[in-house]
């Protein structure tokens, strides 16, 4: 089979911008040829954050943001493709996740804002979008979807690996030899840390976890946070800002805490909930590999290593794919599966009634 080129686009719950990759697939080989990051401006980030809550004129505002996102996705795609020389090889499709603003599988829906028809029009490339709805229609959570890609790319026959994606939400993929792949959202990744540092320092994230490293963990606050009901649920499970947000955090505070101590506690919360979830649901893996923006947080990576849930803790760079490219690659892969009428979900992960071909196709 000749290699096909697809673009993968991911904008996650961290709201930092669009990650774009150019991926090559030939049925056996999966290769990332190029990548590009397009940051969101503050207005787009603020409106996406606001649409997580009920508000005035939501439908109109959501439609306008979908148009703005499609324009940003097109800009990211064009900048990505300008980086590579691909001769006459066409781009088969764009796999676009969209921007999640509501995730309510218990009510039978999840909403990822986008305008895939506009994206196809602006780029002249077929778009595969709405990749979560079919899984929910089949009784699943619609998330996480990336464990299927982790299984295809990172599974090893002789090593028990766990892949940890540290985006706004943290999710785990358990790749144990001789066992079916499982995966689930395990709690907050960067979401609460990002919200807290933005409120107090005006920064989008805590660079290298430097601010958290100046504080100390508050045991009473940590005990309140780890008592969140979601953390005790058994998989399959998924979550978002509906469960973990700034208002929920502030409701646990007395008001006397030093902000840097709260940040240190939030970093420990992420590491602790990951470690607890690995031990409870994955056993004793040989290797823990981290991807997503949290892989660049040196303080958080140290905390994960300190919890010693695996003999090796490293980023997915060790496996040949940089942490910032994994999720966008996953959605290029899911789009490739859709085009070839292959299922993209893992029922053991999402809870769906069975494998399903995911997504809607918008031809160029």
Answer yes or no: do 284 and 303 share one domain.
yes
What average pLDDT does range 165-178 have in this prediction? 97
Residue 333 has pLDDT above 80, yes or no: yes
| Sheet containing 91-96, strands listed edge to edge, beginning at the edge strand earlier in sequence | 30-39, 17-25, 4-10, 91-96, 127-129, 360-362
Residue 264 has pLDDT above 80, yes or no: yes
DSSP 218-239: -HHHHHHHTT-HHHHPPSS---
Answer yes or no: do 188 and 249 share one domain.
yes
> Residue 56 has which token pair?
């005035």
Look at residue 352 in the predicted model and tell me its pLDDT: 98
Number of domains in the chain: 2
Burial environment of residue 292 by CB neighbours within 10 A (0 to 12, 13 to 18, 19 or more): buried
**Displacement of CA 32 from its chain's centroid (Å):** 18
Answer yes or no: do 289 and 330 share one domain.
no
Answer yes or no: do 287 and 358 share one domain.
no
What average pLDDT does range 24-42 have in this prediction? 92
Band (pLDDT 50/70/90 cuts) for residue 1 is low
Per-residue pLDDT tens over the stretch 120-158: 999 999 999 999 999 999 999 999 999 999 999 999 999
Answer yes or no: do 138 and 238 share one domain.
no
CA dist., res. 243 & res. 107, Å (int): 15
Answer yes or no: do 222 and 340 share one domain.
no
Answer yes or no: do 163 and 300 share one domain.
yes
> Residue 220 has which token pair?
């009473």
H or E element that contains 274: helix 259-281
100-111 burial, b at 16+ Cβ within 10 Å, e below that, comes to bbbbebeeeebb
- The percent of residues above 90 in pLDDT, for the chain, comes to 94
* Range(s) of the domain holding residue 52: 4-142+326-362
What average pLDDT does range 23-50 have in this prediction? 93
Check which CATH number belongs to the domain holding 273 and give it. Answer: 3.30.420.40
Answer yes or no: do 87 and 187 share one domain.
no
For the chain, report the end-to-end CA distance as a whole number of angstroms: 23
Answer yes or no: do 173 and 311 share one domain.
yes
Per-residue pLDDT tens over the stretch 179-227: 999 999 999 999 999 999 999 999 999 999 999 999 999 999 999 999 9
CA dist., res. 346 & res. 144, Å (int): 9
Mean pLDDT of the chain: 96
Per-residue pLDDT tens over the stretch 67-89: 999 999 999 999 999 999 887 88
Look at residue 214 in the predicted model and tell me its pLDDT: 98
Residue 173 has pLDDT above 90, yes or no: yes
> Residue 52 has which token pair?
């997580």
pTM of structure: 0.95
Answer yes or no: do 150 and 239 share one domain.
yes
Answer yes or no: do 112 and 233 share one domain.
no
Band (pLDDT 50/70/90 cuts) for residue 38 is very high
What average pLDDT does range 262-269 have in this prediction? 98
Band (pLDDT 50/70/90 cuts) for residue 47 is very high
Q: How many CB atoms lie within 10 A of CB 46?
A: 12
Name which of 2-16, 219-233, 265-279, 328-342 the model is least confident about: 2-16
Answer yes or no: do 303 and 342 share one domain.
no
Q: What is the CA radius of gyration of the chain?
A: 20
């Amino acid at each position: 089979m000749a290699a096909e080129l697809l673009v993968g686009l991911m904008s996650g719950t961290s709201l930092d911008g669009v990650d774009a990759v150019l991926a090559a697939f030939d049925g056996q080989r999966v290769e990332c040829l190029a990548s590009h990051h397009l940051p969101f401006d503050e207005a787009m980030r603020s409106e996406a954050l606001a649409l997580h809550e009920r508000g005035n004129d939501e439908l109109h505002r959501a439609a306008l943001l979908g148009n703005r996102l499609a324009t940003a996705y097109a800009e990211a795609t064009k900048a990505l493709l300008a980086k590579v020389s691909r001769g006459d090889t066409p781009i088969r499709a764009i796999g676009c996740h969209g921007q999640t603003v509501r995730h309510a599988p218990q009510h039978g829906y999840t909403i990822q804002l986008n305008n895939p028809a506009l994206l196809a029009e602006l780029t002249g490339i077929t778009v595969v979008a709405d990749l979560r709805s079919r899984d929910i229609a089949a009784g699943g959570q619609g998330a996480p979807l990336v464990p299927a890609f982790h299984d295809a790319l990172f599974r090893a026959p002789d090593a028990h690996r766990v892949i940890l994606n540290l985006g706004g939400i943290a999710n785990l993929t358990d790749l144990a030899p001789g066992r079916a792949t499982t995966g689930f959202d395990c709690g907050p990744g960067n979401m609460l840390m990002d919200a807290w540092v933005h409120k107090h320092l005006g920064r989008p994230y805590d660079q290298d976890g430097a601010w958290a490293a100046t504080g100390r963990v508050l045991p009473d606050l940590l005990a309140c946070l780890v008592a969140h009901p979601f953390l005790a649920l058994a998989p399959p499970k998924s979550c978002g800002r509906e469960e973990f947000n700034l208002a929920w955090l502030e409701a646990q505070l007395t008001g006397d805490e030093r902000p840097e101590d709260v940040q240190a506690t939030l970093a420990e919360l992420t590491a602790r909930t990951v470690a607890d979830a690995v031990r409870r649901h994955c056993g004793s893996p040989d290797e823990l590999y981290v991807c997503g923006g949290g892989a660049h947080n040196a303080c958080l990576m140290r905390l994960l290593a300190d919890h010693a849930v695996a003999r090796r803790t490293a980023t997915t760079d060790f496996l040949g794919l940089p942490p910032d490219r994994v999720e966008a690659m996953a959605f290029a892969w899911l789009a490739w599966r859709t085009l070839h009428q292959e299922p993209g979900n893992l029922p053991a992960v999402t809870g769906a009634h069975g494998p399903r071909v995911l997504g809607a196709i918008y031809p160029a």
